[in-house]
Amino acid sequence: MESFLPQLNSELAARIIQYNALMSLLTLIFVLPTWRQYFLSEKWLGYGEDRPEVNVLHNPVLAPVILVVWLGALAGIFFGQAVILSALIHLFFSYYYFIFMRWRGLARGMGAPGFMMYWGAGMTAALALSNPAGRAWPVIVLMLQWDLATIFLSAGISKLTSGYASNHGMDIGLNNPMWSYLPKAFQRLRASHPLYWALNQSAWIFQILGGIMCFVPGLRIYGAAVFVAMFFFVMFQIRLGPLCPAIMGTALIFIPSGHNADTLLLGAFAWMPEFTWHTSPSALTDQVLLYFAIGYLIVRPLVTAGLFYNYLGKGRLPKPLQVSVDFLSNTFGFILWRVFTADVLDFYVKIKAVDVATGSERLISKYEDPMSLRYNQVAEAITVTSLFTTLKYFASNNELFRTRILRYSRTIALGENEILHFEYYRIFKEADRYQTKQIARVIVDRDKGLVIEESLLAGHSMRDNHKYSKISEGIRPGSYLPKNHSA
């Protein structure tokens, strides 16, 4: 029987770290063709805000250097060289770009891919700094396991409460060309097809069930197997880049030492370079890591409970607690994983450049074109989606949307007489089919600073939330506290 404190084989832990470094390398490589958007500020036509704390790194001089150093650090981890230094470099840049920049840039920290890259960097640093023979090691592993289980469980609860149980969720995403590999194939299926029902129900049931199992000694490995199987399937349906294989790799931390799966995976990873753990961390380092892990295990569930109270309960915690929850969630990246819910899946946006002299149009956002290096990858889909969910999450703050869409528009190369049309399409689930209708258009003339919203379908607005969405207008970016919260 597996003990309460997990026993993770240090050799398998090394392979998990190396595999995670490889997935992080792929994530960065995916965005390298359009690196200027993600690693420069709006001062240089990137996604970052034009602020001193952003411009200090988001500039055309330092950004290429950072990318080279970051890629080098990931190579160092993979090849087992200068692992601690490489891990700390990886953690610093992951934190800066994916957590610190989450509310300071249009890319929202690259969403789930960025968050899991940061999580993997934290895992790597925590394991690299500790010693497999030290007191802190099993507690560090427990911290990582419980944190990952919390992420999975919160994702399942979010799906349960936002439409999946009522058969609204995965099916919409599979019909959405911004996300799906095969939207045309799924559009041929009737909306009542049993496949959709099976996918929606299994998504929330197995995420909740697998999350719970990952907390229970003796069942952790089976919870991990659930998530590996789920993301293996999703990997071939949804355009998420290296995210799915990265999550599958992190789930391996639930495999106990000596299990048959432990032996099997060590054989499968035998091709990787040799990795040597440092053997003499100071007693002080071990003690600090031990206390940090214990503190994290106490604080993490409390913050998550507070976030769910804001999100589902629509209530405000007593001021000191609310301030603490908001601070800790934004500082450490504690989030409710509301990935792939209907409020972000029931629409997509076509971006077109329109010549005002001739009226001719050209499509910018070629989501389904593998040669479209900008729009055929997940980070850009997240950016465009986040741009327009501003209208749902901060419906009364028109200036916030206007500012963001003007900033985004300046990152697109246009001809002399061209302006931008953002065509907003909603996916309607009808009795026998999924129907896409354009409900609005946003016209942007960035040179004149003009943003014009046009409603094209009576009774429908870009600010409408999906009927199963639990999202309310937020008090500010970075908080789940509703604007009209209960006391």
pLDDT digits (tens, 9 = 90+) for 358-385: 999 999 999 999 999 999 999 999 999 9
Q: Check: CB of residue 51 under 8 Å from CB of residue 59.
A: no
Q: Is the pLDDT of residue 279 over 70?
A: no
pLDDT digits (tens, 9 = 90+) for 324-333: 999 999 888 8
Other beta carbons within 10 angstroms of residue 210's beta carbon come to: 26
**Which residue from 68, 87, 72, 99 is spatially nearest to 13, judged by alpha carbons?**
87
Identify the weakest region by mean pLDDT among 138-147, 167-176, 272-281. Answer: 272-281
Q: Is the pLDDT of residue 123 over 70?
A: yes
* Higher pLDDT among residues 477 and 365, named by residue: 365
On average, the pLDDT of the chain sits at 93
* Arithmetic mean of pLDDT, 344-351: 95
* Arithmetic mean of pLDDT, 18-34: 96
* Arithmetic mean of pLDDT, 269-285: 83
* Arithmetic mean of pLDDT, 124-153: 94
pLDDT at 485: 62
Residue 327, sorted as left (phi over 0), alpha (psi -120 to 50) or beta, turns out to be alpha
* Arithmetic mean of pLDDT, 335-360: 91
pLDDT at 472: 78
For residue 86, report the phi and psi dihedrals to the nearest 5 degrees: -60, -40
pLDDT at 477: 81
* Arithmetic mean of pLDDT, 266-282: 84
pLDDT at 421: 98
Contacts of 224 (CB under 8 A, 6+ apart): 210, 214, 251, 252, 253, 254, 255
pLDDT class for 486, splitting at 50, 70, 90? Answer: low
* Arithmetic mean of pLDDT, 420-429: 96
Other beta carbons within 10 angstroms of residue 431's beta carbon come to: 7
* Arithmetic mean of pLDDT, 220-248: 96
pLDDT digits (tens, 9 = 90+) for 39-65: 999 999 999 999 999 999 999 999 999
Q: Is the pLDDT of residue 231 over 90?
A: yes
Instruction: Give the global pTM.
Output: 0.94
pLDDT digits (tens, 9 = 90+) for 192-215: 999 999 999 999 999 999 999 999
Q: Check: CB of residue 368 under 8 Å from CB of residue 177.
A: yes
Q: Is the pLDDT of residue 487 over 80?
A: no
> From CA 129, how far away is CA 121, in angstroms rounded?
12
> From CA 151, how far away is CA 95, in angstroms rounded?
17
- Sign of the Cα pseudo-torsion (60, 66, 69, 75, in order): negative
